[in-house]
Structure 1
Amino acid sequence: MSNKPKDLELEDERTSQKQYTEVLMARARKPSAYQGPRNSTWVGGKLPKKREIRSGELVGRVALIRPDEEILDGEADFYIGETYANINGINVFGWTAPIACTFFRGSDHHYMCDDVAVVRAFSRQNGQIVDFIDEALRADAPEDPFKKRALTIPAPPKPPSLPTLPPAVTDRASRPNTIPEEALDSHPASTSKETGGPTEELPPLRAEGLLRAQMLAPRTKSLAPVLSTLQPDQYSLVTIPAMDSVIIEGQPGTGKTIVASHRAAYLVNEETPPENGLDGDVLLVGPTAGYSRHVRQVVARLTGDTERVKVLSVHELADLIIGGKKSPHGGVSRSYQDVDWRLAKFSRSAIVRLKAAKGVTPTPEQVYEYLRSHSGIVTPEKDWSLYLRQLPPYKKALTQRVHAPLVAFIKWEIARPTELANIEHVIVDEAQDVTPLEWLLLDEINEADAWTVLGDLHQRRSDHTLGDWAQVLEVIAIDPETPIRQMKRGYRSTKPILDFANRLLPRAARKTHALQDVGPDPAIHKVSPKELDSSVVREVKRLTAEYSTGTVAVISPTPSVIETALRTAGWRTSDRGPQLWEKNGREVTVTSHDAARGLEFDAVVVVEPADFPENFSRKGPLYTALTRGNRELSIVHSSPLPNELRRK
């Protein structure tokens, strides 16, 4: 498009990034009145409050077909970054400001959207811009949409020296993270290229070459913001007003966790339009501690490590409320009664009765023991009365994970922790695994009854969770007409992996829309029981060599057996976590299907599919395990495969 050599343009963009960093660091060092454009249209009529931030990244750039006087003071291009700044006469608008719609192309259009000529998205490695991709959105786009301005920087008062950026790389082939040529090949945005068939409409793609390059790149060991390649449908979901509840449903790898993490950051950002944001805090709840560590880094990067977003797993949330010194252990539920919503009703009844009898608020232990000793008064139902009588003593219940939801609910009703005060929006990821009692606890925490619920009912791992979204809406008592939005395109796994895993689904739900339509077929290794462990170790060796800069996992119903086999083969646990094993500089994660929820890896070995638990004849846990891989899936088994996976 541009007649200017790309290497020179890259140097210009790196210079702009350096200037942007300097402006934000100076702002953080010396608090001053907020500096923004003279017109406040870009933030919906209200200037954002100043936000202290140490550094920030430019996300991309937008060129218009004609100059804009109202916001851009006669200029025709601007950047999108993490927060507002002005660098050498060019505006940088924050990614949550309404004008960012011109870059992300969401459904809530800004008036400038119709004038967008070219959108540029940056590719980065280790925080540095290493490449970019330009997309022309109209036939009359100028040949040189991003013109260089003369450098005019006032002399600063001797700030501390900044780290020196690496020298420019002029040889495109030598840049380690340039966009691969295969990713830049033409990929028309038609449904026939992605396996949904030509008649089903999919949302449009943006920055497609950069997106495909990211999908081909090795998975990193932590989740990172994806603002450069955030897709239009994802952006539209992220930017739904805070007080509007929504259910977001999608198969594995459709980007639900990306939406959850970026939405949490969006809701508390100072540059988010007031009508879309909120005054209180956000609670983001995920399935595991590994997930919360994974996502917490993204939220911190997007928000400047704000305290307004709490990221916790369901278990971490219960532990925080209970406030014990040690986390309880054991399974999560043995029967539906362990997690049924009626336990909340019984607990409240006990609190009312104890208050009336004693004249003071009872302790959590007194309430719990009242349920055990006065079960016939609390409920006339014989099966429930028997269940309550058989509960273990309070101090023992504190050590058992199965009773944590009940104890946490009682504790919340009596002594709410200040850390969870002022929660006005709750985001629940992997929501299909939240139990009725946990939903009621979350409902009590949620002061404004605003929700973002994300999940995939096909991945339910327990019969004790709710079977459809209508039941969820009923339990948390919000509008039964709350919209359900579908995420259809799969970004993470290849078509062969999804096609194989989707054999476990009902026929009507097997359709796949994989962006990665090419990849190796799942490798199935049938071995004898005596060869099982050694075969798994052999696959680990192969895959960790193949994906030496990426991530590999073994998912098994019995991880301890695999750990023993790895230890015998010379592997050792890592200091960075008990699930991570190391040998000769290579790493593999050994985990269960429960702990793998919400995570992704380049390659996955699934061991003994027939031994994964079922619920109501559904194979949700196995389905979750099979869909954790981004590039390659290997099955090692000695028992016969489930019937669905044997079919060719």
Structure 2
Amino acid sequence: MTSPDPALRHALALERAHHEHCRAALATMADGAREQVVTSEDVSASGADAEVLGYRLRSRAKALRELPEGPLFFGRLDFAAGDGGGEHAGQHYHVGRLRITEDPAAPPLVVDWRAPVSRAFYQATAREPQGVAVRRRFGWAPGSRGDSADLTGLEDEHLGRGESRTSDIVAREIERPRVGPMRDIAATIQPEQDDLVRGDLAASVCVQGAPGTGKTAVGLHRAAYLLYTHPQRIRRGGLLILGPNRTFLSYIAEVLPALGETGVRQSTLSEEIARHPVTATDDEKSAAVKHDARMAEVLRRALYARVAAGAAEPLSVPDGAYRWRVPDDVLARIVAGVRDEEPPYGVGRERVRSRIVRYVQDRAERRSGPRPSAWVRRIERARPIGACLDAVWPRVRPEEVVAGLLSDPGTLAEAADGLLDADEQKAVLWAAGPPRSWKSARWSAADLVLLDEVAGLLEHPGGYGHVVVDEAQDLSPMECRAIARRAAFGSLTVLGDLAQGTTPWAARSWEPVLAHLGVPDAPVVPLTTGFRVPGAVVALANRLLERLDVDVPAARSLRGDGEVRMRRTAPGEVPDAVADAVRDALAREGSVGVVAADADVPGVRAALDAAGIAAAGPDEPGARVTVVPAGVVKGLEYDHVVAVEPAAVAEAEERGLHRLYVVLTRAVSRLDVVHARPLPF
């Protein structure tokens, strides 16, 4: 609320006026960007230059046009005068999500939160003020769309005087109700988070983050920071955000646009590797073997078993009326030599072709001098050479390799010798037997991972400049390899929590995950201080953490608030107790998430419908009440969580206790545990 203090009212009036000034300048920037796009279309330049210029200007105009409405700044830095203020002595800067200026050559009205000068906003302390005399934070009305009247308060921290205080504005922003999609945290980034956000592009990092520590937000803000700091290098290769599922991606979708970044691909790994629709389902044993790292070598053997140096026969290459002969032993040496070099399979085939042609060219030039390039191209296309290649290094598709391996016990036994035992080989074989052709095969989700592995052996895929991987603890070794291929020439930000690993192959430590991702030396940085999950909820979750088979530090919370309520009821009365808990939650502000074992969700929704409570599914992030299967709640947050029958959640899968840990830590205000059976903690 606005203070009656005249000095504060005057300061607020000045800041509101500055905000109006910034709004007008931003509108001018957007209009100018549109005009530049129109003007560039008439600029005389080479086709390539005009295309690049047009793309950049259109991207800039689109980003300004699509910038979500909201306050244009959240902080201000006043640097000390004289030597104490360093290179910014006597200057003041407003800090916001986007740089705003009236003219490119003029001092900015707002500096971007990612700019070097803005780092002091997050890192300066009374002990190390970094030249800052006063750090000011602004309080905006919840849900503000950027109206200057919504600037309701401000706090000044006089670091130059050695003053240090806990920010009420930051606390309110962190704790305010969570309704709708995830928001950015540019205004509330903590020093340890800022260190990770501003890490070097060339360095990969793994963040082991306890619930509520902001690891997902850190990853997204790191992506925005890299795009700002290295625009050319990142945009040349692209930036990829990998989430565990579409529900999660829809939840985080608005964070980067709010930070002014719209050209980022947000996807799931299954979408990245989807060569075919998933039309088959593996049992648990089959899926576990297919996701095992040993399958990489099985597939490599199966692919290169098609290379047959011994199948080479003497080759006769026509050259007009003359024929050049290549003996079988020469061909065998060429094939064996290329095979030993271990190139991608497709590269190896072309390398064999070029060496055969070179052999013929050497003999032709000894006979009658240098040969023109047209002659070389004609020899390369000679049918006998193509037929020879098909015999010794045949063309192949990933589908042919995988289908042949999983439908033929003999082929699998040869490729898996010494790697998979008889039971494991039996588990991965297709029960229906070989399809008529790979085109009629039915592929499971695990089969698509195998197809991607073979595709990577055939030809290196194009990579990204940086990849952010969230919920990485759930990745299998083979999935990690698929990601590593897409980051072979870039860096990785790996986010996760070992305690929240729920897949059968979930990691118990980060070392093997990082090794399979191709970054074994990446540092593991723990985040243990929670900002979103209140202390009462963290205390309950830590009781369950003691029973999990992972070695991670217990979480702690900076919030002493929060409420946990246990609702014990008779077995037949659980639906009514759930409805009562939801009604109680609706009497308060914020979102309500009702989380149950996947099989129990239809019954929970029916009970809420019968009680007259409208509830949405997890794909509608703006709903007041959402019923969420435990299997997809990871990464989501709700102000109030109603956890239904924890024992059923724990028993639903092999790592059910880990799933329950996820469920309990989704609440950022209040947790109701409704149960008829004994609790697993």
TM-score between the two structures when normalised by the length of structure 1: 0.75
Partner of 1:310: 265
Q: What does 1:384-403 correspond to in 2, within 5 Å?
A: 384-390=424-430, 398=442, 400-403=444-447
Counting aligned pairs with the same residue, the percent is 24
Distance 1:617 1:76, change over 3 A: closer
Distance 1:465 1:102, change over 3 A: same
Give the number of the structure whose residues are more often strand, by fraction: 1
Partner of 2:573: 531
Partner of 2:251: 294
The 1-side partners of 2:440 and 2:542 are apart by 42
The 2-side partners of 1:402 and 1:212 are apart by 44
Matched residue SS, 1:597? coil
Measure how far apart 1:542 and its partner are: 2.3
Distance 1:76 1:578, change over 3 A: closer
Q: Which moved more, 1:389-398 or 1:632-641?
A: 389-398
Measure how far apart 1:413 and its partner are: 4.7
Distance 1:396 1:597, change over 3 A: farther
Residue 254 in 1 paired to residue 213 in 2? yes
Q: What does 1:27-426 correspond to in 2, within 5 Å?
A: 27-31=32-36, 51-52=60-61, 53-54=63-64, 57-66=72-81, 76-87=91-102, 90-91=107-108, 92-105=110-123, 113-121=130-138, 123=140, 125-128=143-146, 129=148, 130-131=150-151, 132-140=153-161, 208-269=167-228, 272=229, 279-306=236-263, 309-319=264-274, 322-324=275-277, 336-354=288-306, 359-372=393-406, 373=408, 374-381=411-418, 382-383=421-422, 384-390=424-430, 398=442, 400-411=444-455, 413-414=457-458, 421-426=462-467
The 1-side partners of 2:285 and 2:475 are apart by 12
Measure how far apart 1:620 and its partner are: 0.9
Residue 24 in 1 paired to residue 61 in 2? no
Residue 455 in 1 paired to residue 492 in 2? no
Matched residue SS, 2:567? strand
The 1-side partners of 2:537 and 2:190 are apart by 22
Supply the AA of the counterpart residue of 1:82: R
Matched residue SS, 1:127? coil
Matched residue SS, 1:546? coil
Partner of 2:636: 599
Q: Which moved more, 1:388-397 or 1:344-353?
A: 388-397
Distance 1:495 1:399, change over 3 A: same
Matched residue SS, 2:640? strand
The 1-side partners of 2:497 and 2:487 are apart by 22
Higher RCO (CA 8 Å, separation ≥ 6 residues): 2
Q: What does 1:564-603 correspond to in 2, within 5 Å?
A: 564-571=606-613, 574=616, 587-603=624-640
Q: What does 1:501-580 correspond to in 2, within 5 Å?
A: 501-506=541-546, 511-520=554-563, 522-547=564-589, 549-558=590-599, 559-571=601-613, 574=616
Question: Which among 495, 498, 505 is matched to residue 538 of structure 2?
Answer: 498
The 1-side partners of 2:440 and 2:609 are apart by 34
The 1-side partners of 2:439 and 2:618 are apart by 28
Matched residue SS, 1:466? coil
**CA deviation string 1:111-132 (max 9, x = no partner):** 9932443333453533325234
Matched residue SS, 1:126? coil
Measure how far apart 1:375 and its partner are: 0.3
Partner of 2:16: 11
Distance 1:536 1:84, change over 3 A: closer
8 Å contact kept, 1:422–1:447: yes
Measure how far apart 1:71 and its partner are: 6.9
The 2-side partners of 1:328 and 1:95 are apart by 47
**CA deviation string 1:286-344 (max 9, x = no partner):** 222111112222123324411xx22122333333xx253x7877888765213111222
Supply the AA of the counterpart residue of 1:3: A
Question: Which among 630, 646, 649 is matched to residue 609 of structure 1?
Answer: 646
8 Å contact kept, 1:572–1:581: no
The 2-side partners of 1:76 and 1:251 are apart by 39
Q: Which moved more, 1:380-389 or 1:49-58?
A: 49-58
Measure how far apart 1:250 and its partner are: 1.7
Supply the AA of the counterpart residue of 2:400: Q
The 2-side partners of 1:31 and 1:59 are apart by 29
8 Å contact kept, 2:480–2:517: yes
The 2-side partners of 1:509 and 1:473 are apart by 17
Measure how far apart 1:431 and its partner are: 1.2
8 Å contact kept, 1:580–1:587: no
Q: Which moved more, 1:223-232 or 1:22-31?
A: 22-31
The 2-side partners of 1:315 and 1:106 are apart by 42
RMSD: 3.7
Measure how far apart 1:231 and its partner are: 1.7
The 2-side partners of 1:590 and 1:579 are apart by 10
The 2-side partners of 1:70 and 1:215 are apart by 32
Q: Which moved more, 1:468-477 or 1:608-617?
A: 608-617
8 Å contact kept, 2:129–2:160: no
8 Å contact kept, 1:249–1:487: yes
The 2-side partners of 1:626 and 1:500 are apart by 8
**CA deviation string 1:268-290 (max 9, x = no partner):** 22xx1689967422222122211
Measure how far apart 1:248 and its partner are: 0.9
Larger radius of gyration: 2
**CA deviation string 1:146-180 (max 9, x = no partner):** xxxxxxxxxxxxxxxxxxxxxxxxxxxxxxxxxxx
Supply the AA of the counterpart residue of 1:343: M
Supply the AA of the counterpart residue of 1:338: K
In structure 2, stretches of 5+ residues that fail to align are: 40-55, 309-389
Instruction: State the aligned residue count.
Output: 546
Measure how far apart 1:563 and its partner are: 2.2
In structure 1, stretches of 5+ residues that fail to align are: 34-48, 142-185, 190-207
The 1-side partners of 2:425 and 2:554 are apart by 46
8 Å contact kept, 1:436–1:466: no
8 Å contact kept, 1:242–1:277: no
Measure how far apart 1:510 and its partner are: 6.7
Distance 1:335 1:550, change over 3 A: closer
The 1-side partners of 2:139 and 2:441 are apart by 52
Measure how far apart 1:390 and its partner are: 3.9
Q: Which moved more, 1:49-58 or 1:429-438?
A: 49-58
The 1-side partners of 2:120 and 2:227 are apart by 21
TM-score between the two structures when normalised by the length of structure 2: 0.72
Measure how far apart 1:566 and its partner are: 2.6
**CA deviation string 1:435-461 (max 9, x = no partner):** 111001101111325211111111111
The 1-side partners of 2:75 and 2:621 are apart by 38
Supply the AA of the counterpart residue of 1:488: T
